[in-house]
Amino acid sequence: MQLARIQAIFEKDIKDFMKNTMTIFMPIVPIFLAFIYGRMGDSMEEEIPLMIVYIVVGVSYASVTAGSMMMLMAEENEKKTLRGLIMSPASYMEIIIGKSLVTALITFISLGLSLVIMGSNAILDVQQIIGLLILFFFFLFLGIGVGLFVKTVGMTTAYLMPIMFIFGFTPMIELLGFAEDSLIMKVTHYLPLSQLIEMGDTGSWTAIGIVLIWTVAAALFTFICFQRVKKDRT
């Protein structure tokens, strides 16, 4: 693994990120949402519920992490530069790390500001931080994997919306009136965000294992997409 290659990919993505108005807009979404929820907390004069905090976390990861990665990868595809990147001497890990650094930086700045605005420290213990880091990699791999086969930046919206709803707004599914024993609710319970909320309520480490399984599956999905794109371009 060569740091020079990683740095070159990082510097290129910084420039691409700043040129793309959509990627610049993405970090504002969770901050705006945190401002709204923060105002609600002030009016109620009580701590913001853990579910609300994790909705902001989910939106941060879905919009900034997954959304930005999809758009950056789709832009490479649209400009026909993805082939050059994949066929370059850079390894799979060098490409993943290089392209992840910009997204990670922007994600954690956006999420940090959101938590400050809400005045919440409910997810700042060691267990929750470990869960958040694993969840970050889940959304990161998901975004890269989808971005590898999206042909244009405009098409990313069609993929981002279901990711945002299913994985970002997971707690909101419970408010749609489904029966507790329905299949949808049973599946929802095992989604990553639901597991971290349960971990926050119960302190169980089992949730970390379930989220880790999701992350490994997303990493495998990304690797398969990478190999398929590489094969198609040889």
Q: What is the pLDDT of residues 208-231, one digit of tens each?
A: 999 999 999 999 998 888 888 777
Q: What is the reported pLDDT for 40?
A: 67
Nearest to 144 by CA among 223, 214, 211, 79: 223
pLDDT at 45 over 90: no
Q: What is the reported pLDDT for 57?
A: 92
Which of helix, strand or coil describes residue 112?
Answer: helix
Nearest to 127 by CA among 47, 65, 201: 201
Task: Round the average pLDDT of the chain to a whole number and report it.
Answer: 83
List, for residues 46-101, the tens digit of each pLDDT value: 667 888 888 999 999 999 999 988 888 888 777 777 666 666 666 767 777 887 88
| Count of Cβ atoms closer than 10 Å to residue 179 Cβ | 8
What are the domain boundaries of the chain?
3-232
Segment 193-213 shows an average pLDDT of 90
**200 contacts 122 by C-beta, under 8 angstroms:** yes
> What global pTM score does this model have?
0.89
Q: What is the reported pLDDT for 42?
A: 54
Residues in the chain: 234
